[in-house]
Amino acid sequence: MKKIIYFLSVVALLSSCSDLTEDEKNPSVVPAASLFTSAEKGIAEQVVNTSVNKNIFRLVNQQWTETTYTDESVYQWTTRKISDNHWGAYLSGTSTNDGSLSDLAKAKSYLENEVILASDPEFAAKICSKKK
């Protein structure tokens, strides 16, 4: 009887580990849109982070303004167009000229309008032509 119990427990143990190598919490294949959105969020959080442990540039910038640029440390930004230059750098690509953000917007609209159905007989040919 003990041999049967040992045998059944070994069989149960070996058969219960079929999906041990699959990590359901960390998938190996994810959509590119999810990765891009996550990267954008990470960059935005890093830019606006005020912690000197994560974003040391704000601390260095404060020391630069205290020693060299005394107007900025007392918020006298009218001598130079700092806020205009800052937002100009962020929004430079949103114009209709050849900016990088306008190219991304065009690519996004192209991808949103392009639909390839899996039932399409030329599915593989269309996928291969897009990768080129």
Residue 121 lies in a domain: no
Question: Taking a C-beta distance cutoff of 8 angstroms, is the pair 67, 73 a contact?
Answer: no
Residue 7 lies in a domain: no
How many residues are listed for the chain in this entry? Answer: 132
Q: Report pLDDT digits (tens) over 55-104.
A: 666 667 766 666 666 666 676 666 766 666 666 666 654 554 555 556 66
> Residue 100: CB partners within 8 Å, gap ≥ 6?
93
Provide the residue range defining the domain that includes 90: 29-113
Identify the pLDDT of residue 123: 62
Residue 128 lies in a domain: no
Identify the pLDDT of residue 115: 63
Residue 126 lies in a domain: no
Q: What sign has the CA pseudo-torsion 44, 42, 50, 59? A: negative
Q: How many domains does the chain have?
A: 1
Residue 1 lies in a domain: no
Identify the pLDDT of residue 17: 63
Residue 131 lies in a domain: no
3-state secondary structure (DSSP) of residue 116: coil
Residue 2 lies in a domain: no
Interatomic CA distance for residues 7 and 13, integer angstroms: 10
Return the ∠ at Cα 113 (arms to 125 and 37), rounded to 5°. Answer: 100
How many other CB atoms sit within 10 Å of the CB of residue 40? 10
